[in-house]
Structures are given as structure tokens and as C-alpha cells.
Structure 1
Amino acid sequence: MKKNDFSRRSFLKKTIIASSAAAISPSLLLAGTNILKSSKIIGANGKVNLACCGIGNRGAEIIEALYATGLANIVALCDVDMEAPHTAKILGKFPDVPRFKDFRKMFDKMANQIDAVSIGVPDHSHFPITMMAMSLGKHVYVEKPLARTFHECELLIKAAKKYPNVVTQMGNQGHSEANYFQFKAWKEAGIIKDVTAITAHMNSPRRWHGWDTKITSLPSNGNIPDTLDWDLWLASSQPHKFDKDFINGQWRCWYDFGLGALGDWGAHIIDTAHEFLELGLPYEINPVKLDGYNKFFFPQASTIAFKFPERKGMPALDITWYDGINNLPPIPNGYGVSGLDPNIPPPSTGKLEPVKLNPGKIIYSKDLTFKGGSHGSILSIIPEEKAKDMASILPEVPKSPSNHFKNFLLACKGEEKTRSPFEISGPLSQVFSLGVLTQRLNTKIVFDRKKNTITNSKIANQLLMGPPPRKGWEQYYKV
């Protein structure tokens, strides 16, 4: 049987037999219904039985963080490059756990033993794994950005509504740390109000910096590693010839597979402002600057302006995104030192290199200016003199009751609600998808927020959905 036939038949089979499987597995959601028969105490010893898709690089870090909470049993490991060097650490840590290359086979064999799934794979393959897991009633922790295309994010938002008892969490881990609780408290207390502009910046070196920007076709160099199932790595993407610069983190460089610096770091920098200022989707996105533009991989530097309308008594707001080593934003008087939060995890390529301006944001309101970093870094009022004047009226900020990983697992057990569910992280990820379309086409985008359409470019509007899934993967794109 061909793999594509397997994909289609497997998914349909799961849909048909879900009701009988539910009798075996208390945590199994009846596919096509909104009924979840589950207990707050799930898995052995009250732990969540967790299957892990993507076990190397960032996927490995996610597994370790979830396991470190003491709330998870690791019951299955899945990776298309199983037993490659970057999977060795997790395989050594969980030597007796069943292993799979194909997530569909994992669900076929072990659905009744799985409560939740961690998904730490390339951006382009988040979607089908997540959709299949949700249809089977499995709670999902998905690394950011939520999916590669606007349409995929939209379908995941709809799926979360269809399956309301499935717990969802996107992996922007700072959304459970100090910045989240501070922004919420300061917004509710009226300290953060009347925001009209935000500068978001990430000026560290990226993998594609220095590449030849004059290439006219995708590369296809090197031999497929013996450990890698290239067809499965592509997932629902259209066929591509293998290239060594598509795998092991390099996928982030290419429009066909990733969302570049914006999708990678935007979720750690813009997330709290997007949620608590209720930004939703922009109505216009402009490519102010794209240095080293190329149709296949991301620019050497980008400045992208997002325009958001008035909302619930809040003024219209612009977010301007800056990436590129020397593409620094304007800095206000009294900014002070650009600090780097020591809690920011290093990239898979190693440590964050010293840069002229560390990743972060500057928030401009009618009366105040705020300086912030990335991930869980807290905001400060600038200049320092103004901060001292206001110190006595600033509200107390509660401490986080759980980090992002513990929050997810406690939510699976019915004890907390996730802080970055798809209803929140989905629209945030769609903002990144729109920004990437602006980069990819090097054109202004006018977006109809009510109809979710791009009105000034037929090509851009088609790319909201992206290319059709290849044969055998179509079933995941139906909710």
C-alpha cells in the first residue's frame, strides 16, 4: 500500500471507529462530535500519557520540559529522522518507549494509550499532526508558530471550537511567565492604555544571513540521510527534492517550510500586546524595507509595518517589526541599556550571539513609553526618572502558578486553563503569516478583517491558503 493511500485510509478509519475506541480509551474524543469522555485524573498515577512528535533539537527540549514537571508519562516517541544523531539524547533517556517514524501509524497502534501529544517539528508539518490528534481527542502542545499558512491556522481555530474538550497550547513559553502577568495587571490597572505604536525588534544573526540572494531555483544537493524518511518529512507539502539546507533547523530559512525570524521570535515579543490590547488581525501590512529580497528564502533584513484599527475604545495601533543585524529601530531618549533575559533559551545553533540591540519591544502610549525584552522579560517605564515617579502606584503583579509546560499538563488534568490556547495563539500566528506574505511577494497587503481576504492582490489572497495538500493528505484540511 502506498504511503499516501495509507494516510487517507488511516484517517478515515480513525474517524469511523472512534466511537468504539472511546469505550477502550476514556480520553478519546468521538471524532465529529463535541463529546469528550475523560477524567480529570488521567494516565497512570494521575499523570498525562504523552506521545511526542519531534524528538530532536527543539522537540527534545519540549519533551524534557514537559517531563520535568513530573506530570507526564512518555508513552510514544515519533520522528521522521529516528536514530539520527540529534535524537540520541531522548532515545537514551526513554529507551523502552515505543518508537515510530509515522505519526499516523503511532495513532493507529496506540490511540487508546495516549492522552496528549507534544508537537516539536518544522512549521510546515505542525498542521496535519495537530489535526489528527485533535480529531482523536488528544490534547495538543504545538511549538510556535501554530502553523505555516493563514488557512491552516484558521482551520486549527475552528477545530478547537469543534472539539472544546481538547486542551490546546502553543509553545510561546513566555506567555506563562512574568511578562504575561505584568502586562495583564498593568493593562487592567490603566497603566498600559492608549497605545498607538509598538516597535518589535530581533536583530540577531539568522541562518540565511549571507546567502546568495540571486538564486533562481530551490537547491537540491546532498544525499538523503539513511535515517530520514524524506517523504514523511514533507508531510502535506508539495513534492520537493531533498537538500541538506532543508533539514535540522534550516527549514526555517525557506518560505515553503517556515516563517523566518518573524514567526520564530514574534510569538515571544508581540504575544502579550496582541492578546491584552485585543489586536486581532491587521488591515494593512507594508514591506517598508526588504534587503536582499529573494523569492525562495527570507530577506537579509526586514522592516514590516502592521496597521491595526481602533478597538473597543482603544486607539488605532501600528506595530513595526525589524529584523537583520544592522536594521536597528529608532531608540527613544532614556532607553538605557538593552538587556538580555537570562531565561531565554539558546537557539539550536548554540548561544545567542552578542548584538547591538537584544530582542524586544518598545511600546508607545499617549502618556508613557515602555521598554521590554523577549519571552518572559518584564516591561519597564522609560526614562528611569518617570519610572521612579510612578513606582508607588504600580499594581502588584502576581507570580505565575505554573510554567507553560506545567500549565498545559494541569489543563489536561482539568486543574488549570491554558494561557496560549488556539483561540489566542491562532490569530497571533495569522499575523505572522500575513507578514511573511508581505516579505515573500515584496508587496503591500490590504486585508479585509471581516471576510479574511486580501483585497489588493489575487496572488497574495491565494497564498492565504497556500498550495493544495498533496494527494493522500487532503483529509486533514476538513473540519
Structure 2
Amino acid sequence: MIEDKANSKTENSRRNFIKTTALAAAGFMIVPRHVLGGPGFLAPSDRLQLAGIGAGGKGEGDIASIVRGGKTDVAFLCDVDDRRAANSLKNFPKAKYYKDYRELLDKEGKNIDAVTVSTPDHTHAQIAMAAMQLGKHVYVQKPLTHDIYEARMLTEAANRYKVVTQMGNQGASGDGVRRLQEWYDAGRIGKVHTVYCWTNRPVWPQGISWPSGKAEIPKELDWDLWLGSAPYKEYVNKLVPFNWRGWWDYGTGAIGDMGCHLVEPPFRVLGLDTPISVECSVGSVYVDEFKRAYLPESCPPSSHVILTFAKTQKTKHEVQVHWMDGGIKPERPEELGPNESFGDNGVLFIGTKGKMICETYGKNPKLLPLSRNESDRTKITIPRIVNQEEGHYTQFAEAAIAGYGKMELSSPFEIAGPLTETLLIANLAIRGTDVQRRDAAGKISYPGRDIKMLWDKVNMKVTNFDEVNQFVKREYRKGWTLGV
């Protein structure tokens, strides 16, 4: 049995969300290092020495955004692909460069204060855990981890090692989710019982067979390091740098990519914890006119997942959250005019007295019908984060400089961990649709396509369909470990 250590701490953090401390907006006093003391503390008069692991693409943006806060020096850069790291190396010529994060942390650990992790999903947990075990503050891109077990371990580790943590769902620092919170707390839509979250993702290939043939590995790419803990496969064209998202060995599909931005608003506003059950349907892929393909390596082209959450202090009954991807959208609200946009990505809250909607990151929150917004006088009660999404990065840097426990953050692992677990529980149901059973006569069935899976949070397992529990904690390739 795995002890649920994070539960009470998570609840306290969520309650504190509606009264973010003045420190988040007003800064902090400069005090000597010896007063702060202990591992993981940095005097506010000092500058944050940052190591950027994953220096290209989103990593390039993450590093630059933290630096724009004005209190960070990029001391080290690390990437398995020299092509992806090129711009960051040009922007930060004084940074020392590594390809293997393990070598970086081993040789330079004493010279690093904080680490950004902006790598493919399947490598997040190992890098973040290694950094935390050295007492380094960590900023990790969404989703926090690839596996449910990894999310739980990182959440517990952040508390154990007393380090500042933040997940890269920058909408958590936006004004939008705070306005939704204020409307809900003021009773503008009554008690929510149903939420719909939808996205037009994936915008990468899904529901396809693994490419045949072997391609030449680019000389700038260390393919073995890129694979990391994933099973070894021969390099194929166009997997790197982006299309890995559609393969279960590396990515977490559309909900892993966008769920941290779209499920996050109801998760916070309603004070949700991990779900108690999950069920789903997925889009089919056919190899010919009559036969559906069996493609367990690849995420499906579309899915509709229903997550049921237990009653919270902010709801009257259980809550259902519907996740829809691949262009599937919920029924258009009757309160929305025929020419009023519903959006390709969004969230719809349905309460006992009304409805409200928002876009990705919680942006552009609106009460329905839209005419209600013109007369709305709901007071601002929750402090805002300066510069909103951009301030998400500054908030992390300032919290790391102040030291563990000195500042509130928008998405520390105690919040980001359970949110990530929730999205990955949804993926259990999605992956379960491809689980095969063969009876004594050799007939194949797919029992996971027609059940509601019951989730045991304490023991991290589905209790009524054991085949999917293999995905709760994957087996790492030989030579790789989470270090717990």
C-alpha cells in the first residue's frame, strides 16, 4: 500500500489559492543568507544560477522567460540535440553546454540553484527527481510526468527535499482562472455538477502504425540519450522534435499536452482531487473497409473521457468532467447566440443557476449568456500575479531566490501532481480500449471499451480492470531509474 501523504497538504494549498499572499505581488525583504539557512535557500540579494535541461523549442522559451524576470543567470544548458540547443547557446554564450543531464548534475551540481526541465514527457520525472535530490529548485514543463507513479513520487519528493517547484501550466498564474474562482465563490452560477473541456488537438499524427524502415540518425542528435528510459527502438524520421507526442512510449496524447491548461481551471475552482472513476470512448482507425486496427503503441485520433470526482467542499454532489479531443466538442450552450464563438479549445462550467466558459489557460472567462458580463459587478477578491502567464516564470525565480516555503506559487507540485495524476488516469481508460483478451477458442475481445474503471487513489490502481495497471508505473529501460 502506498501512503497518501500529499492529500491534506494539497487541500490546504487549494484553499490558499483564493487568498494568495501579498508576497506574490509585493516582493520580499532582502535578508542575509545565514538567516535563511539550510539546503535549497538562496539569499534574495543573490542571482539565481539556472541550468536549462531541454534548451530548444519550448525549453528555449522557458529559459528566456525566466531570464526576463531580471534575477537569473543561465549558467548551464543541456540538450541531446545540438540543433535544438543552437539558439539558446547563441543567446547565452557564457553558459556551459552538456548533452547528458546526469553528467551536468554530477559535475556542476554545486554551481546550480535551479533547473528547468523542458524535454519530452517520458524524461521529465527522472531529470526532476535527480535535481531535487541535489536540493535544486525545479520548473518542469507540463504534464509533470509520463506516469501516475512518477507524479506521486515527485509530489512527495518536493516536500521531502524542501525545494521550490512549479509546473509549466502558465495559465495557473493568469487572471482568467481567478475571475472564474471569484464568480463561482460569489454564487453566480450556483453549484457546478458538470464540466466540459475540449481541444482541437492532436495536431500531430496519432492512430497510426509505427513507421517501417530505418532512418539515419542526425549527427547532432544523441538518439540513445533521447530515448532515455523508453524501450530501445531504431530511429525514425519526423519523430523528433514534435511528433513523439502521439506515441505512448514518449508522449501522453492530447490530454497530456492540453489537459494541464484546460482541466486546470475546474480543478482549482471546484477544489477537485483525483477522480474516483473514469470511462471513455475513442475514435476508430480502420486498416480496411471492415477491420478496426489494433494500434496499442499510438494514441487514438480522438477521445471522449468522463471523469467522475467525489463531492468537495465547493460542490453539492459528485462532479463529472468531460474531456474531448480530436475536434469533438460538447453541445453548444443554448445561452450562446448562433454567431457567438464557442472556440476550438475551451471549458464550459454548468451549474445549478447558470453557466460560464473560458478558453485555454482560463483566458477570456465569460458568464452565459454573454449579456450578463455587461452588468457584472463581482468584486475582485483574489490577488493577481503581475504579468499573468509571463509572471508564472518570474514567480518561480523569485520563490527560488526567497527559499522553500517563503512564497506562494501558482502550480507547485502539491497542486500540479494531483492534476497530472488526473490526466494520466484518463489515459488509463484511453489505453484500456486497446487491451486485448483471448478466450480458449482464440477469439479476441476488448473488454476495456465497455466499462467504467474504478480508481483507488491510495493504492494507485484500477480495482476492476487489472490489465491497465501496467501503465500506472512503466518499466524503465535498463540503466535508467527514478532514484526512489
What is the TM-score with the length of structure 2 in the denominator?
0.81
Which among 227, 231, 234 is matched to residue 227 of structure 2? 234
Q: Deviations over 1:432-464 (max 9, x none)?
A: 111112112212422123432211111111211
Q: Work out the number of aligned pairs and report it.
A: 418
Which among 466, 475, 478 is matched to residue 471 of structure 1? 478
Matched residue, 1:118: 116
Are the structure 2 counterparts of residues 93 and 277 from structure 1 closer, same or farther at C-alpha, using a change threshold of 3 Å?
Answer: same
Are the structure 2 counterparts of residues 282 and 220 from structure 1 closer, same or farther at C-alpha, using a change threshold of 3 Å?
Answer: farther
Matched residue, 2:137: 139
Amino acid corresponding to residue 275 of structure 2 in structure 1: P
Matched residue, 1:68: 68
Are the structure 2 counterparts of residues 313 and 169 from structure 1 closer, same or farther at C-alpha, using a change threshold of 3 Å?
Answer: closer
Asked whether 1:436 is paired with 2:427, we answer: yes
Matched residue, 1:317: 319
Matches within 5 A, 1:25-424: 36=39, 38-41=41-44, 46-82=46-82, 84=83, 86-164=84-162, 166-191=163-188, 193-204=190-201, 206-208=203-205, 213=208, 215=209, 219=212, 221-292=214-285, 294-312=295-313, 314=315, 315-325=317-327, 327-336=328-337, 357-388=343-374, 391-395=376-380, 398-401=383-386, 403-414=391-402, 416-424=407-415
Amino acid corresponding to residue 181 of structure 1 in structure 2: R
8 Å CA contact retained: 1:284, 1:307: yes
Using the TM superposition, give the Cα deviation of residue 228 of structure 1 relative to its aligned residue in structure 2, in angstroms. Answer: 1.1
Amino acid corresponding to residue 123 of structure 1 in structure 2: D
Are the structure 2 counterparts of residues 454 and 35 from structure 1 closer, same or farther at C-alpha, using a change threshold of 3 Å?
Answer: farther
Q: In the aligned structure 2, how far is the partner of 1:132 from the partner of 1:206?
A: 32
RMSD of aligned C-alpha atoms? Answer: 2.4
Are the structure 2 counterparts of residues 220 and 306 from structure 1 closer, same or farther at C-alpha, using a change threshold of 3 Å?
Answer: farther
Q: Deviations over 1:33-75 (max 9, x none)?
A: x95262332xxx6221000000111111111111111121000
Q: In the aligned structure 1, how far is the partner of 2:175 from the partner of 2:374?
A: 20
* SS in structure 2 of the partner of residue 263 of structure 1: helix
8 Å CA contact retained: 1:103, 1:129: yes
Q: Deviations over 1:157-202 (max 9, x none)?
A: 11112112x0000000111111232233334433355110011010
Q: In the aligned structure 2, how far is the partner of 1:231 from the partner of 1:94?
A: 26
Are the structure 2 counterparts of residues 477 and 237 from structure 1 closer, same or farther at C-alpha, using a change threshold of 3 Å?
Answer: farther
Amino acid corresponding to residue 320 of structure 2 in structure 1: D
Q: In the aligned structure 2, how far is the partner of 1:90 from the partner of 1:472?
A: 29
Q: Deviations over 1:331-364 (max 9, x none)?
A: 111224666xxxxxxxxxxxxxxxx832111100
Q: In the aligned structure 1, how far is the partner of 2:68 from the partner of 2:250?
A: 30
Amino acid corresponding to residue 370 of structure 1 in structure 2: M
8 Å CA contact retained: 1:220, 1:242: no
Using the TM superposition, give the Cα deviation of residue 138 of structure 1 relative to its aligned residue in structure 2, in angstroms. Answer: 0.4
Matched residue, 2:29: none
Q: In the aligned structure 2, how far is the partner of 1:181 from the partner of 1:134?
A: 30
Are the structure 2 counterparts of residues 376 and 69 from structure 1 closer, same or farther at C-alpha, using a change threshold of 3 Å?
Answer: farther
Using the TM superposition, give the Cα deviation of residue 412 of structure 1 relative to its aligned residue in structure 2, in angstroms. Answer: 0.5
* SS in structure 1 of the partner of residue 127 of structure 2: helix
Are the structure 2 counterparts of residues 204 and 462 from structure 1 closer, same or farther at C-alpha, using a change threshold of 3 Å?
Answer: closer
Matched residue, 2:25: none
Using the TM superposition, give the Cα deviation of residue 330 of structure 1 relative to its aligned residue in structure 2, in angstroms. Answer: 0.8
Are the structure 2 counterparts of residues 184 and 71 from structure 1 closer, same or farther at C-alpha, using a change threshold of 3 Å?
Answer: farther
Using the TM superposition, give the Cα deviation of residue 396 of structure 1 relative to its aligned residue in structure 2, in angstroms. Answer: 5.7
8 Å CA contact retained: 1:191, 1:394: no
Q: In the aligned structure 1, how far is the partner of 2:409 from the partner of 2:63?
A: 18
Q: In the aligned structure 1, how far is the partner of 2:302 from the partner of 2:231?
A: 28
Q: In the aligned structure 2, how far is the partner of 1:423 from the partner of 1:220?
A: 43
Q: In the aligned structure 2, how far is the partner of 1:471 from the partner of 1:263?
A: 25
Q: Deviations over 1:314-336 (max 9, x none)?
A: 221111111113x2221111224
Q: In the aligned structure 2, how far is the partner of 1:109 from the partner of 1:238?
A: 27
Are the structure 2 counterparts of residues 38 and 174 from structure 1 closer, same or farther at C-alpha, using a change threshold of 3 Å?
Answer: same
* SS in structure 1 of the partner of residue 283 of structure 2: strand
* SS in structure 1 of the partner of residue 138 of structure 2: strand
* SS in structure 1 of the partner of residue 74 of structure 2: strand
* SS in structure 2 of the partner of residue 228 of structure 1: coil
Q: Which moves more between the two structures, 290-299 or 375-384?
A: 290-299
Q: Which runs of 5+ in 1 are unaligned?
A: 1-25, 28-33, 340-355
User: Structure 1 vs Structure 2: percent identity of aligned residues?
Assistant: 30
8 Å CA contact retained: 1:218, 1:296: no
Q: In the aligned structure 2, how far is the partner of 1:427 from the partner of 1:434?
A: 10
* SS in structure 2 of the partner of residue 183 of structure 1: helix
8 Å CA contact retained: 1:306, 1:318: yes
Matched residue, 1:12: none
